[in-house]
Amino acid sequence: MTAATEILRAAVLHTPRNPFIEENALDGYADGAVAIANGLILATGEYSVVKCDHPDAVVRDWRGSVILPGFIDTHVHFPQTRIIGGLGWPLLDWLRVHALPEEVRMGDAAYARTVAAEFIRALARHGTTTALVFGAHFGEATECLFQAACATGIRIASGLVLSDRLLPAPLCQTPEQAYRISRDLIARYHGRNGQQYVVTPRFALSASEGMLEVCAALMREQPDLLFQTHMNENPQEIAEVLAAFPWAESYLAVYERYSLAGPRSVFAHNVHVSDGELAHLAASGASVAHCPASNAVLGSGIFPMRRHLAAGVRFALGTDVGAGIGFGMLKESLQCYKMQRVMPEGLTHSTAHLLYLATRAGAEALGLAAETGDFTPGKSADLVRLFPAKDTPLGTAMAQAESLPGMLATLIAQAGAESVREVRVRGKVVAL
């Protein structure tokens, strides 16, 4: 049965092109429209044109609102939902004091189920429709995450977090256990309702060579899986990884030895990276999840964006909850802007750059560029409607904006979950 065509009328903005490569990458329509049917984008453009082409469509009059593509978060930890705000610690101490004790609690399936529901709800309330998520160290808790996502429609890519050393005992598995649990989760959730499975060693420091062999085996056996981990986040972390793998000339070389760096790989952080590693990342087609808020909170450093661009390494934004400061991708975009402004040899971003990094760039990193990330016809109708309350600084500034880029800049600077009025994935409304 063919669904009725629906037209959403509002200001519309998206980046169907990469603004780091092409000029005029931001497409916008002050009185715009997105036409959708059967969960897909039919057309995007000026309302008068879209309505003329689809005269029988049902019109939702959202004037005063802004429609953006659903946000795509490329690095976030579901077990850390309740620990945002652990300030004053560097990475490894923060893990020991804040993150790992909470992650141990995921061994209680009832607790994990509650947190998983909170996590998915938080994504939706901030307009995030797709996320690359670190699951839990426990199979049942990771299953709770997939179940919560399937129930709401939010598109996630996630997997069991694999570790077999240097963490609290409840968070460790043997390589054999890790393989068995991973295969079971893959069989039940990979490809189900748009979910993807991701092979997820926590980081090389907590993964033996045997565990990395398991990761390699899982990727060989099912080549359409994704791979994610942490890399080059903190100088102490890097030193300890190189001590644990004395044969490796770099952090990346550890993963390369097991063929874990490729076009379906996403490495979180990559703050302290060598030129050689950048060259290898570019050649592999791997992507980096840039997490400016958590990099600042943990004092890890400022992402060398200009060097990544010069090397041809892809990157997108991640909130990195819970070291990060929240689920809002607009807030993360603003943090990205600020950090690059104060960095020597940093970049000054346009609103096109920031919207791209929060939407289409993430889709490219996850291998979903043909499916989501912008409003190109044929893609999934994943979108967020933002409508600021009247008589607020944001509402007033939006009303006075003299251009669409100016309106978008105002949203990036001020908007949060309170401005999110509707979220859709594949055209279906997600409960907020």
Structure-token pair, residue 321:
């909850």
Q: Calculate the CA 86 to chain-centre distance.
A: 21
Mean residue pLDDT of the chain comes to 97
Query: Per residue in 80-128, pLDDT tens?
Result: 999 999 999 999 999 999 999 999 999 999 999 999 999 999 999 999 9
User: 77 pLDDT exceeds 90?
Assistant: yes
Find out whether 136 and 79 touch, Cβ atoms under 8 Å: yes
How far is Cα 21 from Cα 3, in angstroms, rounded to an integer? 37
Higher pLDDT: 432 or 204? It is: 204
Question: Of 140, 219, 214, 222, whose CA–CA distance to 174 is shortest?
Answer: 214
Can you give the pLDDT at residue 175?
Answer: 98
Query: Per residue in 355-368, pLDDT tens?
Result: 999 999 999 999 99
User: 39 pLDDT exceeds 50?
Assistant: yes
How far is Cα 273 from Cα 301, in angstroms, rounded to an integer? 11
How far is Cα 157 from Cα 198, in angstroms, rounded to an integer? 6
Mean pLDDT of 326-345: 96
Q: How confident is the model at residue 1 (pLDDT cuts 50, 70, 90)?
A: very low
Of all residues in the chain, the percent with pLDDT exceeding 70 is: 100
Can you give the pLDDT at residue 2?
Answer: 57
The CB density around residue 283, as the number of other CB atoms within 10 Å, is: 12
Of all residues in the chain, the percent with pLDDT exceeding 90 is: 97
Can you give the pLDDT at residue 390?
Answer: 84
Can you give the pLDDT at residue 346?
Answer: 87
Q: How confident is the model at residue 389 (pLDDT cuts 50, 70, 90)?
A: confident
Give the predicted TM-score (pTM) of the model: 0.98
